[in-house]
Structure 1
Amino acid sequence: SLRNARLLRESNYLRDNLGKLLDHANAPIVVIGKDRELRVVNRAFLALSNASREELLGRDFLQLLPETERGRILPVFIRALRGEPTSNFEVRIPRATGGHSRIVINTASILAADGEIEGVIAIGRDLTELRELEEQIIQAEKLATLGQLAAGVVHELNNPLTSISVYGEYLLRKGERAGYESADLEKLRRIVESADRILKFTRDLVTYARPSTEEPAFVRIRDILEQSLLFCEHVVGEVSADIDKRYGDEDGSVYAVKGQLHQVFINLITNACHALPVEGGRIILGTHVDDDDHLRVTIGDNGCGIPAPQREKIFEPFF
C-alpha cells in the first residue's frame, strides 16, 4: 500500500507538471475529447483567440471555427482518433474581438491507461503575422507591376500628345496672324492648354512610377503639393470637393526626396477624398513656417475622420 501511495503521488506530481508545461508552452495547444469537446486549452491558444478558458472548455471545437474550416478539419480529427497523425495543417481561428488568427497544427492521438484512444492533442504555430506579411509583399509586387504598365502606356501616349500640342500651337499662332474669330482662337487655345496639361501629367506619372534613384535635394513644398493635387484630380472630381489652399508667404523649401513627398501627399489627399461627406466636401492644403523654423504642411478635410480602433494601424503598409 505504501508503494501504491508513492506511485499515486508521483503520478499526480507528473500530471500536474505536465499540465503546467502545456499551459505555459509558447505554442498554442488544445486537447479534444472523442466527443469533440475541448478538454484542455493553454494560455497561448487563449491569447490567439482572445477568449477566456471558461468560454472554451467543454464546447464542441467545430463550433468555434468558421463554417468553411469545419469541413476541412473534421477529417484531420477523425484520422487522429484512428491513430493517424497529421502535420502542418493550416486553419483559421476566429478571435473573440473580431478577425481571425491563422495557425498551422500537428495532431496526434492520446491514449488512456488501457491503451485505447481517448482524445486528440493539437499543437500549433501562429502564422498570422507571416501570412499578413506575405500578402503585403504580393500587393507590393502587384503595385510595382501596375506602375510599370502605366509607365509603358503613358510613354506610348506622349508622341501623339506632343503632335497635338505642337500643331495646335502652330494653328493658334496662324489664326492670330490671320485674324480668326475670337471664339475660334479660344477653342484652339483650350486645345493647346489641355494637351500641355496632359503631357505634364504623363511626364510626372512616369517619374512617379519609375524606381526611385532620386537623391535628396531642396524642393519647394508648394510645387510638390500642386503636382500631387494634379495626380489626384480625378478623385477630387468624383467627390466634387472644394480645394482650399492656404499657403504661407514663405518660400517653403525643404531638403528631401521629391518622389517620396509626392507619395505621402497623394495618399493623404486620396484618403481625405474617401472620407468626405456626400455634399459640401472640402480639402484644405496649407503650409506654414513655425517660429522654430520648421515647415508645417497641413492636409485637412471636413470628413468623418478615422475610427478610434483603426488609428493605431494607420502606419501599417497597405492598411
Structure 2
Amino acid sequence: MAALSKKALLEQRLNLFHSAFLYSTDAILLTDLQGNIIEANQAFSNLFGWTHEEAVGQNTRILRSAKTTNEQYKRMWEGVNSKGRWVGEIINKHKDGHEIPVLLSITPIYRDGAKIGYMGVEIDLTEKKKIEARLLQEKEFSESVIETANCLIVSLNLEGKLTLFNKKCEEVTGYAKHEVIGKNWFDMFLPEEARVEVNDVFSAIVEGRLPSRFENHILTKRGDERLIAWSNTVIRDEARNISGALAIGIDITDQKRLEKQVLQTERLATIGKMAAKVAHEIRNPLSSISLNAEMLEDEISAYDQVNTDEARALLRAIIAEIDRMTALTEEYLQFSRLPESLLVPGNLPRMIEETLEFLRHELRQKRIEMECQLPEVLGEIRFDRVQMRRALLNLIRNAVEAMPKGGKLRLWVEKRNEEAVIHIEDTGIGIPSEVIGKIFEPFFTTKEVGTGLGLAIVEQIIHDHGGQVICHSKVGHGTTFSIILPLDETK
C-alpha cells in the first residue's frame, strides 16, 4: 500500500513537471548530447514556427542565425561544460528565416549521474529589444538636443555635484566635461560672494519651492565672470522623490553689457550737454573775476607805504581757486566735446611704449617702480591713437594716485582668442567692494579733488573701440584694470 502510494506521488509529480513543460510560456526544448531535438513544447512552436513533429529529430542548427558567431557558440558551450549552466542573449532564427533575439538558458540533463542531454529555455526578447531600441533612440535624440542646444544645460545631484554639462557649458566656461563631472558646482563656478545666495536658491529648488527664473554670475576657467539667466526644474527618481535639479541657462553677459553701454551713452550725452552749459555759464564770470583779481593785485602793489602781505596772500588764494575752477570747467567742456573715435590700424604695443616713456620721469619722481611686458607679435588692432593714449594716461595716473607713498605699477598685454587685453596693475590702497560698481559713473569720485569724469571718459573711449574695461580690486592689495579690445580680423 505504501509502495503504491509512493508510485502515485511520483506519477503525480511527473505529470506536474510534464504539464509545466508543455504549457510554459517560455520555449523549452530537450536535446541529446549531439544537439538533436528529442522534445519541444508548444511555446517553442509558437516562437520559432516549427511544429512538434517537424522539430523532433532536427538538430538545433535549424535555429542558428548568421548573427550568432562561432566564437559566441564556443564560449556558450565552454560555459555549460565548466560551470554546468550558461545564460545569455543570442540571435536565433524563425522557420521563415526572420531573426529572433532570445535570452537562452542551457543546463545539462543527468540520469544516474551520467549526462544524457541538455535542456534549453528561450525567452523572446523581441519586444524588449524594440523598447530598448526606442529608449536608445530617445536617449540619443535627447543627448543630441542637449549637446547642440545654444544654451547652457547642467544638472546637479542633491549634493550640488555636476551630473550633466553640455557643449555650450564647455564653450562658455572653458572647461571640458571630464574636468567638471562629479565636482561641486558651487565651489567650482560661483564667485565667493554669490555662493550663499545661489545655495539658498538651490535648496529651494530641491525642496520643491522652484524659482522660475534666476540670474547669477559664474566663473570661467580663465577667471572671467559671465552673467547667466537660469530656468530651473527638479529631477525625480523612479519613486518620484526629488534627486537633483536641472538648469537651462542663457549667457546674457553681452546683452547686459550692451544695455549698460547704451544707457551710459545716453547718460553721458545728457551730462555732456549739461556740463557744457554749466561750463559756459561759469567760464565768462570766472574770466572777469580772474581779470579783476589781477588788476587788484597790481593796484595793491602801488601802495609802497602800506603792509600788503595779508592782502596779497588772500588774493593768491582767490586766484588759485579761480585757476582750479577754470581747470574744472575746461575738463567739463572736454568731456562734452569728446570726439568720435577714428579707428585706424596701428601698432598698439608701440603706442603703449611711447606713452610709458612720456610718463617715465613723472613715475620716477613719485617713487613708482614700473614693470612692462609687451608681446613681440600681437596682431593688428584698429584704434584711435589720441583717444587710446588718453584712456591709458587716465588709468596710469589713477594708479599712481592710489600709491601716494610709492609702489609698483605693472602693465602687460596678452592675446586672448580674438582679443587683445591690456592689464594695468598697481599695489595701491584698493577700491572697496561697495564702491567698485560705481567707479565708471560720471561725477563719482572718492578723491578729495577731482571731477569724477576720468573713468567715465575711459569707459566711453573703450566702448567706442568695441571693447570693454573691467576692474578687479582688493582693499590693501591693489587694483587691476583690464582693457579688452577686438583684434582686426580682416588682417
TM-score above 0.5: yes
1:46 aligns with 2:152: no
Q: Aligned to 2:420, what secondary structure does the other structure show?
A: helix
Q: Which has the higher contact order (CA 8 A, sep 6+)?
A: 1
Q: Quote the residue 1:307 is aligned against.
A: 413
Aligned in 2, Cα 1:240/1:200: closer, same or farther, shift over 3 Å? Answer: farther
* TM-score, L = length of structure 1: 0.59
Q: Quote the residue 1:162 is aligned against.
A: 288
CA distance in 2, matches of 1:313, 1:117: 45
Q: Quote the residue 1:121 is aligned against.
A: 246
Cα offset, 1:35, TM superposition: 3.0
Q: Aligned to 1:98, what secondary structure does the other structure show?
A: coil
Aligned in 2, Cα 1:203/1:105: closer, same or farther, shift over 3 Å? Answer: closer
CA distance in 2, matches of 1:110, 1:124: 16
**Structure 1 contact 154–202 (Cα < 8 Å) conserved:** no
Cα offset, 1:105, TM superposition: 0.5
Among all aligned residue pairs of Structure 1 and Structure 2, give the percentage whose two residues are the same amino acid. 19
Q: Quote the residue 2:236 is aligned against.
A: 111
Q: Quote the residue 1:285 is aligned against.
A: none
**Structure 1 contact 31–120 (Cα < 8 Å) conserved:** yes
**Structure 1 contact 32–39 (Cα < 8 Å) conserved:** yes
Q: Quote the residue 1:270 is aligned against.
A: 394
1:131 aligns with 2:256: yes
1:55 aligns with 2:161: no
CA RMSD of aligned residues (A): 4.6
**Structure 2 contact 286–326 (Cα < 8 Å) conserved:** no
Write the mapping of 1:265-304 to structure 2, written as runs, cut at 5 A: 266-267=390-391, 269-271=393-395, 273=397
Q: Structure 1 or 2: larger strand share? A: 2
1:208 aligns with 2:334: yes
Write the mapping of 1:168-247 to structure 2, written as runs, cut at 5 A: 168-169=294-295, 172=298, 201=327, 204-205=330-331, 207-210=333-336
1:76 aligns with 2:76: no
Amino acid at match of 1:77: F
Q: Aligned to 1:87, what secondary structure does the other structure show?
A: coil
Aligned in 2, Cα 1:306/1:274: closer, same or farther, shift over 3 Å? Answer: farther
Q: Deviations over 1:166-195 (max 9, x none)?
A: 46247649979x999xxx9xx8xx979989
**Structure 2 contact 235–243 (Cα < 8 Å) conserved:** yes
Q: Quote the residue 2:136 is aligned against.
A: 12
CA distance in 2, matches of 1:70, 1:58: 18
Cα offset, 1:141, TM superposition: 5.9
Q: Aligned to 1:308, what secondary structure does the other structure show?
A: strand
Q: Quote the residue 2:159 is aligned against.
A: 35
Q: Which runs of 5+ in 2 are unaligned?
A: 1-124, 341-360, 367-383, 404-408, 423-461, 470-482, 484-491
Aligned in 2, Cα 1:10/1:75: closer, same or farther, shift over 3 Å? Answer: same
Cα offset, 1:73, TM superposition: 2.2
Aligned in 2, Cα 1:317/1:141: closer, same or farther, shift over 3 Å? Answer: farther
Aligned length: 253
Q: Structure 1 or 2: larger helix share? A: 1
* TM-score, L = length of structure 2: 0.41
Aligned in 2, Cα 1:33/1:270: closer, same or farther, shift over 3 Å? Answer: closer
Aligned in 2, Cα 1:129/1:83: closer, same or farther, shift over 3 Å? Answer: same
Q: Deviations over 1:205-255 (max 9, x none)?
A: 4542446799xxxxxxxxxxxxxxxxxxxxx989869xxxxxxxxxxxxxx
Structure of higher CA gyration radius: 2
Aligned in 2, Cα 1:239/1:169: closer, same or farther, shift over 3 Å? Answer: farther
**Structure 2 contact 283–326 (Cα < 8 Å) conserved:** no
CA distance in 2, matches of 1:93, 1:122: 13
Aligned in 2, Cα 1:4/1:155: closer, same or farther, shift over 3 Å? Answer: same
Q: Deviations over 1:53-72 (max 9, x none)?
A: 12210122222223332322
